[in-house]
Amino acid sequence: MHWTFGTFLWSTLVVFFWVAVIWMFIAIFADILRRDMSGWAKAGWIVLIVLLPFLGMLIYVITVSATGPYAITLTMTATTAKQHSVTVLWGGPDQPDLKARILTVLIGRGAAHYDLSAPAAPAFS
């Protein structure tokens, strides 16, 4: 095959495209397995992405979104029947030491939800 500059550029573009698709497939697959959803929902997403990769990845990227870097939520699930699940709205990455100290004090109150997004006025219910 005779390689011209145009052929080289076109081949580089094609290789880049396929590497990007494979990278997206692996990243979305890992995100599906990490996400807190039912097993059937995970299986459905994986089947969609395997059978229709381009359409499935596009649909997943459009439908699954994060609300932003200041909406970090932690969920601690119960491991025994005597425990209950706890949800912590952490907020943004600012003042993590203060938030951790506040959560340490509040966690003993037995609430199901803690809001530490504004550490000056924490809330729980």
Nearest to 78 by CA among 66, 87, 68, 89: 87
Tokens representing residue 56 in the block? 């499935």
Which of helix, strand or coil describes residue 125? coil
CB 84 within 8 A of CB 78: yes
Instruction: Write down the domain spans for the chain.
Output: 5-63, 72-124
pTM of the model: 0.52
List pLDDT tens digits, range 25-70: 999 998 888 887 888 989 999 999 999 988 888 888 887 766 677 7
